[in-house]
Amino acid sequence: MAEVKACKVCNINRHKYYGLAVTSLDQLKIKGGEALGFSPSASVTVVLEDDGTIVEDEAYFLCLPANTKFMLLHADETWMHSHQVDAGTAQSCRKSTDVEVDGKDNVDGFESWHSLAEQLRQDLASIILMSEADLQSLIDVPCSDLAAALDFSQQKTQVLQDTLQRMLDRREEERQSKELLRLYLKAMEQEGTWDPQEQSARLDETDGVQVEAAAGFSSITLMVLKDKKYPETRLSNEELQMVAGHGVEVMMEVLGWDSERTSALVQACESELSKRLQRVQALQSLSAQNQSTSQPHTERETRAKRRKTHTH
């Protein structure tokens, strides 16, 4: 008997997410199409809702974790990021809170930025620990919506979003600097050199789907780790901790890399994590110093007011 997989489906507008229990990719198309009101004869493409990855391999589908969000597209439709949807549709998406998941109401598709906003409301220093995707999602939120979630003025919220954008720009500049250094070192090497071990490692890379699912990484995180240069600058604090916590041997199986390349990645993630935590501690220490400095000043003002009152 085939294993039953719980998942969620939506259409291109993301108005609602429906919870389904299916045993195969074909059954997902059939039951998902019925839930979304698609014609039985319609040609349907299944993609991952968060990044638009096309899902057409049955083995890949079965290895995805439970409650993965899928988007069903008609033949003439193309996946778009949620913030690329036109303003009217996006507004109706934000207002929709009656999402069905296995017969129960759930939060809408904008839950992620709301949870990030709550983190910021409790501690602004948490922006240092966020991934680039998290930062970008907060930047893309309309200023008025984010201000309401944070209980900030729109002016203060705009300053915050500008700060988030500068953080993204700084990480990009850091990657460019590393890339320039890499190109410089490569140019210093003798021309025509070729590393057969490195080339063999690239050819031997596997998708490692089963190991990836077991390790708990999302498809987006794995894409960043495998395909992006200097991925440690793009990941969140939690994702960096996962890489460091799994260690070299597990990450070798997840990524299909050799020990040298994997060790370099794990060390880079550990270094980036340490650097971010030091920044948070510095901010917290500075904040504590400011509070302790302002306290005596406040007490002096209070005593001065009392003396004036007694004098009068």
Provide CB contacts within 8 A for 222, sequence distance 6+: 212, 254, 255
Domain boundary among the residues 17, 48, 73 is at: 73
CA distance 199 to 223: 20
CA angle 61, 63, 66 (to 5 degrees): 85
Is the distance from CB of 99 to CB of 107 less than 8 angstroms?
Answer: yes
Residue 282 lies in a domain: yes
What one-character DSSP code corresponds to residue 126? G
Give the domain range for residue 143.
Answer: 113-176
Q: In this structure, what token pair is assigned to residue 94?
A: 């934000």
Residue 22 lies in a domain: yes
Supply the pLDDT for residue 85.
55
Supply the pLDDT for residue 69.
92
Residue 195 lies in a domain: no
Residue 147 lies in a domain: yes
Supply the pLDDT for residue 79.
87
What's the first-to-final CA gap in the chain, in angstroms?
A: 90
C-alpha pair distances (Å), 61 with each of 29, 46, 47, 209, 219: 12, 10, 10, 10, 12
**Tens digit of each residue's pLDDT, the chain (312 residues):** 568 888 999 998 888 889 899 999 999 999 999 988 888 888 899 999 888 889 998 888 888 888 899 999 988 888 887 655 544 443 333 333 333 433 333 333 334 688 888 888 888 777 777 778 888 888 888 888 888 888 889 888 898 888 888 888 888 777 777 777 777 677 777 555 545 455 444 434 444 444 444 467 777 778 878 877 788 888 887 888 888 888 888 888 888 889 999 999 999 888 888 888 887 777 666 666 656 655 555 555 656 656 655 555
Domain boundary among the residues 160, 176, 192 is at: 176
Residue 203 lies in a domain: no
Residue 61 lies in a domain: yes
**Total domains, the chain:** 3
Count other Cβ atoms within 10 Å, centred on residue 276. 18
CA distance 32 to 104: 17
Residue 283 lies in a domain: yes
CA distance 50 to 36: 18
Is the distance from CB of 233 to CB of 174 less than 8 angstroms?
Answer: yes
CA distance 163 to 283: 15
Which stretches does DSSP call E strand in 102-142? Answer: 104-106
Report the CATH number that the domain containing residue 28 is assigned in CATH. Answer: 3.10.20.10
Report the CATH number that the domain containing residue 243 is assigned in CATH. Answer: 1.10.1490.10
β-bridge partners, 73: 45
- The values of phi and psi at residue 7, to 5°, are -150, 175
Residue 247 lies in a domain: yes
For 81-115, the pLDDT digits (tens) are 765 554 444 333 333 333 343 333 333 333 468 88
227 and 280 within one domain = yes
124 and 68 within one domain = no
CA distance 260 to 113: 37
AA identity, residue 183? L
